[in-house]
């Protein structure tokens, strides 16, 4: 790019309606499954046809609330249902690999909540199994499917930012301490990095790719999980990404990508539908894009659902925008950071 653009590209997001329609199954009816199902039913043509829980009462209640025709009191029964096309794994982190493999071995396509697994090694078992069976598999990094992410991707691909030298992202939220709760229990994959930091690390990888060197500093909670941390990711080009995350305090939750010609500023929260600004590094010029879809917060999960349905209908076994190798790169960073912080192995 030799001059600052006069306009921003339009997002190429897969339409929420009018495309391929799949029959979804939900493994574990928790909070994220509730939000995913609600926005999918309200804003797309996709439909959940079955839900499973180890508790018959929970499964039946979730099915009744969301108008789902079938419910099961075992995960095995759902993945054996011939009328289910794709399975959404929304259980705690500690169950992601087991349930993903259960679905894959039953020949089902699978969307696994982030992080894909508890570690890079565990995630590789999912990747290997999905590729061997030939089913679609993806980590549910829904932020990559938001229209703003595609606008940013086009600007990066077109070289509008110039030589990208820096990126930053933070995601912090205040969690009440609960030794047995998901956020602080190491057996459930607790800790800020796996729960919140996965978004910020993904953002850095999105901007700059897999880092060459990872440095982490932070503190641990009483249970031994990472409570708060800052990461510096370094690249052979000399570029750097700074990533921070916290279970202790709410932070601005913004993202930035800076190049020699221009920078991108993502509004709060960068991981949800928001705004995007392209700022000229050489002057005060500024172009702003704002999400006008009407979807706010986790309603943005609808973009991911429509995207996955279209990928599967197109015969793909991986996402062209968030491939499995990207998920492995993200977990590689998180594994290294947690090890440096002294997280229990």
User: What's the pTM?
Assistant: 0.96
**Quick one: CA dihedral 147, 50, 98, 175, positive or negative?**
positive
Q: How confident is the model at residue 302 (pLDDT cuts 50, 70, 90)?
A: very high
* 148-28-190-36 Cα dihedral, nearest 10 degrees: 20
| Alpha-carbon span 4 to 158, nearest angstrom | 12
**pLDDT (mean) for 218-223:** 96
In 134-229, which residue ranges form alpha helices assigned H by DSSP? 147-157, 192, 198-208
What's the CA gap between 99 and 36, in Å, rounded? 18
Q: Return the CATH number of 147-307+316-341, one of 3.30.360.10, 3.30.530.50, 3.30.70.270, 3.20.20.70.
A: 3.30.360.10
Omega prior to 269 cis, within 30 of 0: yes
3-state DSSP call for residue 229? Answer: strand
User: How high is the pLDDT of residue 345?
Assistant: 64
Q: What stretch(es) of the chain map to CATH 3.30.360.10? A: 147-307+316-341
pLDDT digit string (tens) for 224-248? 999 999 999 999 999 999 999 999 9
Looking at residue 282, its pLDDT comes to: 87
- Tell me the angle at which helices 198-208 and 147-157 cross, rounded to the nearest 10 degrees: 30
Strands 240-246 and 255-259: unpaired
Is 3.50.50.60 the CATH number for 23-142?
Answer: no
* 62 Cβ contact list (under 8 Å, min separation 6): 26, 29, 33, 34, 37, 51, 53, 68, 71
* Exposure string over 190-228, b if 16+ CB within 10 A, otherwise e: bbbbbbbbbbbbbbbbbbbbbbeebebebebbebbbbbb
| Residue 119 CB partners (closer than 8 Å, separation 6+) | 331, 335
Bridge partner residues of 280 (DSSP):
262
The answer to whether the CB of 22 falls within 8 A of the CB of 85 is yes
- Tens-digit pLDDT profile for residues 41-71: 999 999 999 999 999 999 999 999 999 999 9
Q: Give tens-digit pLDDT for 92-123.
A: 999 999 999 999 999 999 999 999 999 999 99
- For residues 118 and 121, give the distance between their C-alpha atoms in angstroms, rounded to a whole number: 8
Reply yes or no on whether the pLDDT at 8 is more than 60: yes
Distance in angstroms (rounded) separating the CA atoms of residues 250 and 244: 11
User: What percent of the chain is modeled with pLDDT above 90?
Assistant: 96
Higher pLDDT, 345 or 340: 340
Q: Is the peptide bond before 115 cis (omega within 30 degrees of 0)?
A: yes
Q: Tokens standing for 324?
A: 């499995």
The tokens of 260 are what?
């020699």
130: Cβ–Cβ under 8 A, 6 or more apart, which residues? 100, 104, 110, 136, 137, 317, 324
Q: Is the pLDDT of residue 280 over 70?
A: yes
- Residue range(s) of every CATH 3.40.50.720 domain in the chain: 23-142
Query: In which region does residue 253 sit, left (phi positive, over 0), alpha (psi from -120 to 50) or beta (all else)?
Result: left
């Amino acid at each position: 790019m030799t001059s600052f653009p006069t306009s921003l590209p339009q997002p190429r997001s897969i339409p929420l309606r009018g495309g391929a329609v799949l029959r979804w199954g939900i493994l574990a009816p928790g909070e994220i499954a509730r939000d995913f199902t609600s926005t999918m039913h309200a804003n797309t043509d996709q439909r959940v046809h079955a839900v499973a829980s180890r508790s018959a009462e929970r499964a039946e209640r979730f099915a009744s609330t969301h108008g789902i025709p079938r419910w099961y009191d075992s995960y095995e029964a759902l993945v054996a249902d011939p009328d289910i096309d794709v399975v959404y794994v929304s259980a705690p982190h500690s169950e992601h690999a087991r349930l993903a493999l259960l679905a894959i071995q039953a020949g089902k396509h699978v969307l696994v909540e982030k992080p894909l697994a508890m570690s890079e090694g565990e995630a590789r078992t999912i990747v290997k199994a999905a590729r061997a069976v030939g089913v679609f598999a993806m980590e549910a990094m829904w932020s990559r499917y938001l229209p703003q992410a595609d606008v940013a991707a086009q600007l990066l691909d077109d070289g509008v930012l110039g030589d990208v030298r820096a990126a930053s992202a933070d995601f912090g939220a205040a969690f009440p301490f609960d030794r047995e709760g998901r956020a602080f229990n190491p057996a459930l994959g607790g800790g800020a990095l796996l729960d919140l930091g996965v978004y910020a690390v993904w953002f850095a990888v999105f901007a700059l790719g897999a880092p060459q060197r990872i440095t982490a500093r932070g503190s641990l909670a009483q249970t031994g999980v990472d409570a708060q941390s800052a990461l510096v990711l370094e690249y052979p080009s000399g570029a750097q990404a700074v990533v921070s995350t916290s279970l202790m305090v709410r932070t601005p939750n913004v993202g930035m990508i800076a190049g020699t010609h221009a920078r991108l500023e993502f509004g709060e929260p960068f991981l949800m539908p928001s705004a995007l600004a392209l700022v000229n590094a050489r002057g005060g010029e500024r172009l702003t894009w704002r999400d006008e879809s009407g979807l706010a917060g986790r309603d943005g999960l609808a973009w991911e659902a429509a995207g996955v349905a279209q990928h599967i209908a197109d015969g793909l076994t991986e996402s062209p925008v968030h491939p499995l190798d990207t998920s492995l790169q993200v977990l590689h960073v998180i594994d290294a950071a947690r090890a440096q912080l002294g997280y229990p192995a």
